[in-house]
Amino acid sequence: MIEVCRIFDKKGAYFYYFPKLYALLRLFYVLFKLNRPFHGTWLTVPSVFAGALQASEGTLVRSISILLFALFAWLATCVANFINDYHDLEIDKICRPKAPLAAGIISRKRAWKMLMGEYIISILLLIAASIIAQSAIVLALGTISLICTYIYSAPPLRTKSRGILGPTTISVAYVAVLLGGWALVSELSIEAVKFAGFFGLLMLGIGFSKDFMHFEADKRFCSTPPVAYGVKATALIASLCLIFPIMFVSYFIQLSGVVISLFKIPLIFALISTFFMFTKPKAKNHNIVMSAFLAYINSAFIIIFGQIF
């Protein structure tokens, strides 16, 4: 075991007397890197709660079904990241050589077993939330989200390599879980569709902007928007998707004037992302996608804050 430790970690010798502990910690580390739970924690879960709170008009609804659905949505996002790494092996060898699969830290066979395990757990969480809520709509919306996590990265569809279909798949997945949060406490309505449209556009902007980071690697293997339509056209579409909904937030969401004024914060991040997309759209420019993320995250938390307080 110590030889394995030395291969994967120079500090592995410290675990000479605790090889099982090392193996367990290493497994958790690999799962963390494959799942990248940041996206689910700060993007997906707030979307579910924002939908639920908006539907309940600020009433803090205590329901195990909401918690289970939020956990499902979080895990589904992790699964999406995991399966993307599984099918992007050649791309990651160029742009993310230290990623577990690209670096050979874990075999594809073992990774596939773990991935299927996570899929099964996410399905069980969705079924449990739907049964408790007695809602076929919630089950259907969650299923749509799960389907999107698969078709985005996996062949034969692999929408991430089909231009606009890639960002659209991501956006649909997020709209589905947001509407799921809404449906857990209230019937779907025009207000729900408009509310979901707000976040759907923001996520579409993230979907278009995120592929700038891996442009050089993608153009060899994958037809992402910057590759398919060019850098400037993609930057224009992404910018409109990020700025437009925030500028006209009062059309999409019913909030007080004081809360609406707080949307200057996500607007700033949307403008920062736009600036970098047009001036420095180079690979490894994390400012683009991080600013787009912050535009979305701040919007979600402003709504949650506005509804609770």
Q: Give tens-digit pLDDT for 67-115.
A: 999 999 999 999 999 999 999 988 888 888 889 999 998 999 999 999 9
Residue range 4-12: mean pLDDT, rounded: 47
Hunting for tokens 């007397």 — which residue is that? 17
Residue range 225-239: mean pLDDT, rounded: 96
In this structure, what token pair is assigned to residue 122?
Answer: 């996410």
- Per-residue pLDDT tens over the stretch 252-295: 998 888 999 999 999 999 999 999 999 998 877 889 999 999 99
**Distance separating alpha carbons of residues 80 and 169, to the nearest angstrom:** 11
Residue 266 preceded by cis peptide, ω within 30: no
The radius of gyration of the chain from alpha carbons, rounded to an integer in Å, stands at 20
Residue 156 preceded by cis peptide, ω within 30: yes
Q: Please say if the pLDDT value at position 147 is more than 50.
A: yes
Q: Please say if the pLDDT value at position 6 is more than 80.
A: no
Residue range 119-126: mean pLDDT, rounded: 98
pTM of the model: 0.91
**Distance separating alpha carbons of residues 24 and 46, to the nearest angstrom:** 30
SS3 call for 297: helix
Q: What is the largest CA-CA distance in the chain?
A: 63
Segments of the chain assigned to CATH 1.10.600: 36-308
- Write down the pLDDT at residue 124: 98
Query: CATH fold of 36-308, please?
Result: Farnesyl Diphosphate Synthase (1.10.600)
Q: pLDDT-derived band of residue 214, with 50, 70 and 90 as boundaries?
A: confident
Asked if 292 and 205 touch (Cβ cutoff 8 Å), the reply is yes
Asked if 43 and 50 touch (Cβ cutoff 8 Å), the reply is no
Helix/strand/coil (H, E, C) string of 240-299?
A: HHHHHHHHCHHHHCCCCHHHHHCCHHHHHHHHHHHHHHHHCCCCCCHHHHHHHHHHHHHH
Question: In this structure, what DSSP letter does residue 159 have?
Answer: G
